Structure 1
């Protein structure tokens, strides 16, 4: 039987571990994951549970190349969902967009004509299917006035959706010394788009697009491999090598893969497929908690109760290697004790699940009850307990972090 435990002692004393970062898996850790890749940076994630199946240098900063266009597409999708734009909105192809991203630029292009209006629906397909730099610049200028302004929007939006380490400086993915991402952030971005814009996401799976009488194939090699792939985007510039964000579905399970830094387009396609094939073949889903089931408790200060039950809004599932007794552990992380009042449904903690020494899953935990302010005597008692035991928490910090 697989071992699963919640580090309840860590949860009860409420250490402020909210900012604790798990180091990237090194060579020994990668080998322990049962798979090896020649990609310098890579990650494989189960889209439903957000469980990490494999990672290699997943937090290393690298240039995204045209994979940055996925962030550009997210801005457009968000504008459409909010009602500020529609497929029928028209943007002008400026001389700047035409010169920097058009046919004469030497990069990928949808071959839009200068000084002509183009519907946003067509620009989106030019951006996503053909990886058109002219489409990306026209979108940026149409939404924000300039590409620099649009890049600021990209960074603000990236923070909102949890891309912790990535910085964008243009809409195209052209090389810039400050434009850096991690494959972990790119995977998060892909999952966010899949979950938030399911209808618009389908554009990433379209095999071809014709514009200005020029028919171009989608650059994503996974789409033609009959492995259930339906997105997302490739990228290549000299400083970064060949990269790919991909997603595929088999037997109702979706995996998201990101690789970067490969030497050739062939290597990029081969390594991405190998990771997906391995993920579908080597893992099975294990449910740890049902949606709404109490996962653990958090200590409360100054409330009408001393501890608060914590739940997840969705099932807590982790993918584990088939036929192996891999150790699965978890801990509840929060800055505490939590201060009353607390509203039922408020996000107050995080659940971190580990397979062996690799963090496989992190998800929010919510208050399962309302906590009102306690009486004066209750608050006084909590204050005394907090004062008298604070030194205990500090003394045991190093011990708890090794649980």
Structure 2
């Protein structure tokens, strides 16, 4: 059994978060909602967060994600012309009014998809990228599994009702987070308030873009069976929050509830960067190496989100497998950085060796082995005496 070296960075009291947060009073009918911290992916609060429901046009976040990915990889080009099929033109509901037989650039179709929530543009892009909408839906589901969306199944690119087309508030928050994280330039389109195509100007259906300057997305959705849905995101003082609301009774109610949940998050939680990527968090002892220690770092910025005023109630530690014996390669996982609130782990992120530590000469290895065995015997004897 491998031993664990536990290095406490700071120790505070361990009051429970739940005991310190005010209750969320929801005054409108709703099927499900979640509040997610963007940087950590932590769910700050939720109601029926993993219940499978109709996403309606919030589906288009996945459609645009796959298009953004294809653009990023150079599989398609923004100025490429897409031929509009009769099937794409025939779509009901929200449209950019693309006419069959015409050609529209990928860029303009993306604007129609994101801003106007065009069902026609969704189908046109799906057909262009994968040949048909069913083929595109297969790719949507592959990506959903890859992103960890375990309560999601897509049957089409637009979100029109289908018995086997579903997702959850949690999964849609996960998807939204990846969209912002993976394709920030593409995500910028979600903040556009209107788009004009073929002489027709349509406003973005996300009314929060007009009522809250901190909101920069994301996507609305509505069908009679789904109700009114909204995935939204806002950033205030460097703290970004994602809120997904599913199944309200009106456009006004989905906006009202989304605003209340965003405000709740910003009023009741604080956000702090603990370490930058590649910043040394700990120098861990290493045996039988040319160096006696190795720097431990994270490959990404480490953030923590906690109830407002409760930073001193957290306990942070680093766990390292013991004994750590050279050689160690740069980038090798060495341990974990953990933050706890009582017995609840609220952050667990891997730590890696910042540099390579080669194996030492025979004499130094022999000496390190002797010291390690002696220290272990001394510690056992001390434990018996005490």
When structure 1 is superposed on structure 2, of 183-192 and 133-142 the one drifting more is 183-192
RMSD: 3.9
Partner of 1:400: none
Is 1:316 the counterpart of 2:302? The answer is yes
- Does the CA-based 8 Å contact 1:344-1:370 persist in structure 2? yes
TM norm structure 2: 0.76
CA distance in 1, matches of 2:316, 2:24: 25
Q: Deviations over 1:315-368 (max 9, x none)?
A: 322122223478435688999999998743245776564556876545444345
Deviations 1:99-145 (CA, angstroms, capped at 9, x unpaired)? 2x1xxx2x111111112111111111111111110110111111101
Q: Deviations over 1:247-266 (max 9, x none)?
A: 11222332221121222221
Change (3 A) 1:288 1:206: closer
Q: Is the 8 A contact 1:30 1:56 kept in 2?
A: no
Query: How do residues 4-403 of structure 1 correspond to structure 2 at under 5 angstroms?
Result: 33-38=21-26, 39-99=30-90, 101=91, 105=92, 107-289=93-275, 291=277, 292-294=279-281, 311-324=297-310, 327-329=313-315, 343-346=329-332, 353=339, 355=341, 360-361=346-347, 363-368=349-354
5+ unaligned residues in a row in structure 1: which ranges?
1-8, 14-27, 382-403
Aligned to 1:6: none
CA distance in 1, matches of 2:94, 2:3: 52
CA distance in 2, matches of 1:346, 1:296: 14
Give the Cα separation in 1 of the matches to 2:18 and 2:248.
18
Deviations along 1:200-249, whole A, 9 cap, x unmatched?
21111111112222211101111011331111101123343222111112
Q: Offset of 1:170 from its aligned partner?
A: 1.2
C-alpha separation in 2, matches of 1:178 and 1:160: 19
**Partner SS for 2:209:** helix
**More deviation, 151-160/199-208:** 151-160
Deviation, structure 1 residue 294: 3.5
User: What is the TM-score with the length of structure 1 in the denominator?
Assistant: 0.73
CA contact (8 A) 1:191 1:256 kept: yes
Contact 1:47–1:191 (Cα < 8 Å) also in 2: yes
Q: Which runs of 5+ in 2 are unaligned?
A: 7-15, 370-386
- Point out the more displaced range, 180-189 or 284-293: 284-293
